[in-house]
């Protein structure tokens, strides 16, 4: 009898697992899609000239600047890169430079040892595997040391005009949750949710404008809801209004 009981329990688990495995995420509602488009339309009106705030001249410089921007402000990165790129302007010089020298040049961006390792590793791979040219496709970019989807999206979109996803940084994560366009804290899931809501041509434009709004108005600790043009579209505003 115990053996038979165990068999039933095992069978029940298998059935449950099969059911869970075939469960799919529901598509966003028409109302949510419309609200996301309304938010994007307002963001476009508020920040019509918004663009990547990192200074660069070539895809490799954009890649390096984006790696440096981790846990660092774009403003600080833009103060570091002129001297860096004057001395080490391309993948070849970055790949072959003295590591200590590279660390010295980027020290003020924080986590400089790890960043130097990733920058040099990425440049060495670019020289060895990609003919000295930064790849433009997501799959190839993700092979580079120190490059996850956020960096890959920035480089492919702004370096090559190749829109392959939504860049999710701390501002995009915070505001997309406040606007309830996603319920996730996971950048991969947030990106997936936003890609389902917005047309592909506007994925990166949404990110850039959301970043601008996050810096100027919808701040982390004290969002300026009284001055926010998106107030009527924000389900979270009541949490912050007096």
pLDDT in tens, 100-133: 999 999 999 999 999 999 999 999 999 999 999 9
Contact 125, 147 (CB under 8 A): no
φ, ψ (nearest 5 deg) of residue 75:
-60, -45
The pair of three-digit structure tokens given for residue 103, joined into one six-digit string? 């660390």
Task: Read off the pLDDT of residues 32-88 as tens digits, 9 standing for 90 and up.
Answer: 999 999 999 999 999 999 999 999 999 999 999 999 999 999 999 999 999 999 999
Homologous superfamily (CATH) of 59-160 is Hypothetical protein; domain 2 (1.10.340.30)
Choosing among 3.40.50.10490, 1.10.1670.10, 3.50.50.60, 3.40.50.140, the CATH entry for 30-50+166-239 is 1.10.1670.10
Domain boundaries, the chain: 30-50+166-239, 59-160
Catalytic residues: 150, 169
The pair of three-digit structure tokens given for residue 33, joined into one six-digit string? 């899609």
């Amino acid at each position: 009898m115990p053996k038979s009981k165990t068999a039933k329990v095992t069978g029940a688990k298998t059935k449950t697992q099969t059911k869970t495995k075939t469960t799919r995420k529901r598509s966003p509602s028409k109302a949510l899609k419309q609200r996301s488009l309304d938010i994007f339309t307002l963001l476009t009106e508020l920040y019509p000239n918004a663009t990547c705030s990192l200074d660069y001249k070539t895809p490799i410089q954009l890649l390096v600047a984006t790696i440096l921007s981790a846990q660092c402000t774009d403003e600080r990165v833009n103060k570091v890169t002129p001297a860096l790129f004057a001395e080490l302007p391309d993948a070849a010089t970055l790949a072959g430079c003295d590591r200590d020298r590279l660390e010295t040049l980027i020290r003020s961006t924080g986590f400089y040892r790890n960043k130097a390792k990733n920058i040099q590793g990425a440049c060495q791979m670019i020289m060895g595997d990609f003919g000295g040219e930064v790849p433009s496709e997501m799959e190839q970019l993700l092979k580079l040391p120190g490059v996850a989807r956020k960096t890959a999206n920035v480089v492919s979109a702004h370096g090559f005009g190749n829109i392959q996803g939504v860049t999710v940084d701390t501002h995009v994560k915070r505001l997309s949750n406040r606007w309830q366009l996603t319920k996730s804290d996971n950048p991969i899931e947030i990106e997936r949710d936003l890609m389902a809501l917005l047309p592909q041509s506007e994925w990166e434009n949404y990110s850039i404008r959301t970043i601008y709004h996050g810096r100027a108005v919808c701040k982390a600790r004290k969002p300026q809801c009284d001055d926010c043009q998106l107030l009527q579209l924000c389900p979270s505003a009541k949490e912050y209004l007096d």
